[in-house]
């Protein structure tokens, strides 16, 4: 169970590094203008992550027709996304603008729109870890959404920290994706 929890923490952190930037900006906006309210940010993030986990779990169930030894190849998806984003980050050093959201549904929408990487990582992971570990992983994700929101709220009050996260996130996210993809492929080969 300890390994499942550690893996869930690593996967959540790796797939949601970009969300911390968006959440931080939302909390900054909330502090500056009162919109969105803090509860809307938290509720929207939970709704968005829940939608991504649900889609991933359903997709993982659909993969039960694929032999186990081939599911590790799905690790190529996050690995490829990481390579693509690393190349893009090297080409243009500019960060993409962060969308502004003002309510629960729009924040959930931003989370889902920003979550293709989550689905590409969660789906093969849910397919390979089994039902019990999936439930533990989902519980860890639920706790970590709260941690992410608290961290983003704190970061949202420190402009120097925001600049640091924005600079390193451009490089950190792709590298984390590549590591996650490699781990998925390795677990399939060595299990």
Tracing tokens 């639920």 back to the chain, one arrives at: 142
Q: Which of 92-101, 120-129, 181-190 has the highest mean pLDDT?
A: 120-129
- Say whether pLDDT at 93 is over 70: no
- Say whether pLDDT at 49 is over 70: yes
Kind and range of the H or E element at 42? helix 38-62
Please write the tens of the pLDDT for every residue from 116-154.
778 889 998 998 898 999 999 999 999 999 999 999 999
- Tell me the domain boundaries of the chain: 2-190
Predicted pLDDT at 17 = 86
- Say whether pLDDT at 100 is over 60: no
Mean pLDDT value across residues 93-112: 69
Residues 157/29, Cβ–Cβ less than 8 Å: no
Query: How far apart are alpha carbons 136 and 150 in whole angstroms?
Result: 22
Predicted pLDDT at 18 = 78
pTM more than 0.75: no
Task: Return the structure tokens found at 14.
Answer: 């790796």
Residues 107/41, Cβ–Cβ less than 8 Å: yes
């Amino acid at each position: 169970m300890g390994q499942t929890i550690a893996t869930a923490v690593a996967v959540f952190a790796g797939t949601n590094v970009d969300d911390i930037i968006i959440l931080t900006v939302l909390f900054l906006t909330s502090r500056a203008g009162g919109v969105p309210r803090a509860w809307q940010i938290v509720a929207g993030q939970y709704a968005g992550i829940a939608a991504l986990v649900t889609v991933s779990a359903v997709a993982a169930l659909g993969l039960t027709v694929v032999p186990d030894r081939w599911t590790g190849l799905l690790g190529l998806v996050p690995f490829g996304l990481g390579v693509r984003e690393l190349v893009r980050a090297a080409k243009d050093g500019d960060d993409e603008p962060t969308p502004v959201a003002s309510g629960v549904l729009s924040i959930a929408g931003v989370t889902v729109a920003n979550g293709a990487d989550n689905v590409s990582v969660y789906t093969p992971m849910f397919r390979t870890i089994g039902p019990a570990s999936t439930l533990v992983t989902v519980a860890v994700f639920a706790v970590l959404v709260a941690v992410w929101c608290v961290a983003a709220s704190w970061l949202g009050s420190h402009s120097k920290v925001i600049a640091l996260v924005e600079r390193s996130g451009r490089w950190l996210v792709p590298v984390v994706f590549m590591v996650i993809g490699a781990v998925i492929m390795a677990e399939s080969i060595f299990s």
